[in-house]
Structure 1
Amino acid sequence: MSDHALAIVGGGLVGASLALALQPAARERGWTIHLIEPLAPGAEYQPSYDARSTALSYGSRQIYERLGVWPLIAERAEPIERIHVSERGRYGVTRLEAASEGVPALGYVVENAWIGHCLWRALDDEVVVRHCPARAERMLPTAAGYRIELNGEAGDLALDVALAVLADGGRSALRESLGIAVSVRAYEQTALIANVTPGHAHGGEAFERFTRQGPMALLPLPEGRCALVWTRAQDDAARLAGLPEGAFLAELQDAFGYRLGAFRQVGARHLYPLSLIESEEQVRSGLVVLGNAAHSLHPIAGQGYNLSLRDAVGLADSLIESDAPLGQLSVLQAYQARQRLDQRLTVGFSDQVTRLFGHSGRTVSAARSLGLVGLDLLPPAKHWFARQAMGLGER
């Protein structure tokens, strides 16, 4: 019955996490969860040097522990035990340590393909109907919810559901087709993403490095690799992406220094233009916009996916705690109110970090250095900054 059915459009990390969070209640209440995903994950995980990865906060680990999937994810999760924050050519340095915060790790870096593999393995086919590979071509509001028109291997199919969750990414064509506007704040920067192999073992340390040309992050990965996020002006990022390996590593070395020895290898380089994108509507009757379709953040602060995961669990909790029918607007509005403070704090924190450390003026640069020294000398401020990074700030 459509009044006991919900559809998640987008079976990536956010959509699959929501399905997993709803699974126990779906069994008890007779809900059917339709998970629609155009890219079928492989039956077996295949490790790759160039695999994209995500920095999970310690708070995200707690969520996945609650969902029962953390032990499997942890098999290929690289702990972040320390974070070293510095600015090239300046004296200010801040160091965050898991031991000082009383946690086993500040966060974990995990390949996206592995997280997705773990989530899909944990889904129960009795309550989660996987439409994959399949693409949602149209979404039409109805008196009882939404009709979703799919195109998949078995041909065309129409699903009538009481609740549709749109989790199909920051460039959601369906969001646009529904007339949901977005606010866009362009950073006029491009992120170059790649995996690199340093000369020295990373020892579980992550690095945030700020330069006049833009910030960079190096995050620890398994097998001694590091995930590089290097933010530059658009033309300069394109130039770096096209350099021969040796020339690229030489420029990376010059910007980062030798804290990890001489870089030996870089994998495939990918470019992502950066903007802060926020949906101006996140809920309607029978509809929720989730994940990057709701808010897409700059990657340098490492907050985007962790916020989306908290949203997904907040939505699941709101639906589970309510006795109202699926898709009822008052329940969805209560969910949005529940997440509003977290979203405002996290989006604001990410945006301010991006703007502060993306400015190249000498006065601002000097102030940044003083700020980094101040963080290192003031334990309460440093503790607040660490809790924000771990996804454990005040909500």
Structure 2
Amino acid sequence: MSDNLNSTGFLLKNLMENMTDNIYFKDTQSRFIMVNKAFCDWTGLSPDHVIGQTDFDLFASAHAQQAFDDEQRIVASGKPMIGIEEKETWPDGRVTWVSTTKMPLKSSDGETIGTFGVSRDITDHKEAELQAARYAEQIRCIKERMEEDVRMAAELQKTFFPRTYPVFPEGAPPEESVVHFLHYYHPSGMVSGDFCTIRRLSATESGIFLCDVMGHGVRAALGTALICAMVEEVSSQEKDPGGFLGRMNELLLPILRQEDTFLYATACYMVFDAATGQLRLANAGHPVPLHFQAAEKTADWLFGDDTLRGPALAIAEGAVFETAEKTLLPGDAVVLYTDGLYEAENDAGEEFGEARLLAAAQRLAGERLEDVFPTLADETARFAALNDDICLVGLRYKRPMA
């Protein structure tokens, strides 16, 4: 064993066979003279097919030319290139990214006889970075436009909200839909940090999303613009509410948590199946929805387990959001709302509070959502001046879809 440990060939063989990063040696013409197993796995080629080849034989010309030029500079100067990011474009158009260090390969006499390098796959990291940069650029452009004219921004923000609602079954007249949707929006200023959307997900399923971005005014409104753009993309990819909020958190975290910026958003997302009455919901630090129960003619919190309320979005990396399930009965309604509905304080510093909100909802059990939403807002306004945005969105399940 000690002989093996002192053997350069033994150590090199183990390095080349077991190192997960790509290792390669090239001559002065950038032809491969040795590669490790990871490199072969990366390219999908055997060593026999790689040795004697150049990057021009493996990659698209743009990357191959850049790699060749870099290696020729190393051969000429004897100076290494450390920690560079390389974009690899493959002949089939596929793009990968690697973090690479390249060094001059020297003979025992000190003469440069080639190059050698180590490359690590950073494709996932780079794609996430590029995606974050694209979203950051989007929000920068939105900010420039909105700050030119806040009034125009207010008009723009109105378009984020639903203008029509899904009907089930599709194509039925709205009054015959088995599910009735509604939203209510009262900003405290010209623009706000509240946002909701109602989307058809399938022939029987709908998705309702409500969020409240920290703060007020243009800053919070910019956050809703960003979230609005993301919701459309993510809802088509992830129908599980917990998975949906997890993906939203992943996308928002690198954008909202900048050195000079701290924003977060509470959110609630639910998916309702009109055929079965099944409701699935996940919560990111948001108020617990109200459940209007037709059979008991009362209202209560949709769930009482506070552990189902996960952290707000853009607070914790890798946050997990649990999906809760409940079956609605015909006539039942579920209402999501933002905290402006109950956090209003009167002159004595007393908050309207969740207990008063629930009591008001119980008095309105059985009423139409068109009456419930403005009445709840009026109850709060009679108690204290409304200094926060208010948004309510919900559904009433009229009957199962045939």
> Shared fold (TM-score greater than 0.5)?
no
TM-score (norm 1): 0.25
Higher relative contact order (CA closer than 8 Å, sequence separation 6+): 1
Structure (1 or 2) with the larger CA radius of gyration:
2
TM-score (norm 2): 0.24
